Amino acid sequence: MSKPALKKELSKLTKEQLVDHILDLYDKNNSVKEFYNFYLNPKDEQELAKKYKKIIRKEFNVENPIKSTEKFSVAKRAISDFKNLQPSPESLADVMLYLPESACELTALYGDFSEQFYNSAYNNYRAALGFLAKHGLLDNFKVRAEQCVNWASNCGYGFADDIADAFYEYY
């Protein structure tokens, strides 16, 4: 159903019916519940960011790499879900940069990974730096972005050069 069609159908409902419909969605859909909880209480933005960073950390578990799954799709989904809540650019940047940070730290501590792993980490690093630049946040995250360069410095498949090139492109 298109937005105009949905809007047409919703405009036929009374205010009370719309409220009931939203409450029904709230009860049945966790993402709707999370959206309204955040929308009505945005003071918990940092706690919410921690929740999504924890999901990312689970995928790139530096503390216990045997338990890590290195699924970029799960980590990217966490970023996408957080983004859908419409947090501040600073909080979104924090979560976005956390993915390549975790991947770079994991590979620095536990050795080489696949070329695909490095490509995904690099692409997410570039995306985070691009977001930082777009929102004027590069200075706020320089130390963390540079730490990725340090962690990647001994990695293979040209990963170290790619990460460094991306860093110096923005800084």
> Predicted confidence band at 83 (pLDDT cuts at 50, 70, 90)?
very high
Rounded Cα distance between 163 and 107, Å, is 13
| DSSP codes, the chain | --HHHHHHHHHTS-HHHHHHHHHHHHHH-HHHHHHHHHHH-GGGHHHHHHHHHHHHHHHT-SS-GGG----HHHHHHHHHHHHHT---HHHHHHHHHHHHHHHHHHHHHH----HHHHHHHHHHHHHHHHHHHHTT-TGGGHHHHHHHHHHHTT-TTTHHHHHHHHHHHH-
pLDDT of 73 strictly over 90: yes
Residue-averaged pLDDT of the chain: 92
pTM value is: 0.85
pLDDT of residue 142: 98
> Predicted confidence band at 77 (pLDDT cuts at 50, 70, 90)?
very high
Mean pLDDT of 120-135: 97
> Predicted confidence band at 103 (pLDDT cuts at 50, 70, 90)?
very high
Mean pLDDT of 23-35: 90
Rounded Cα distance between 153 and 148, Å, is 9
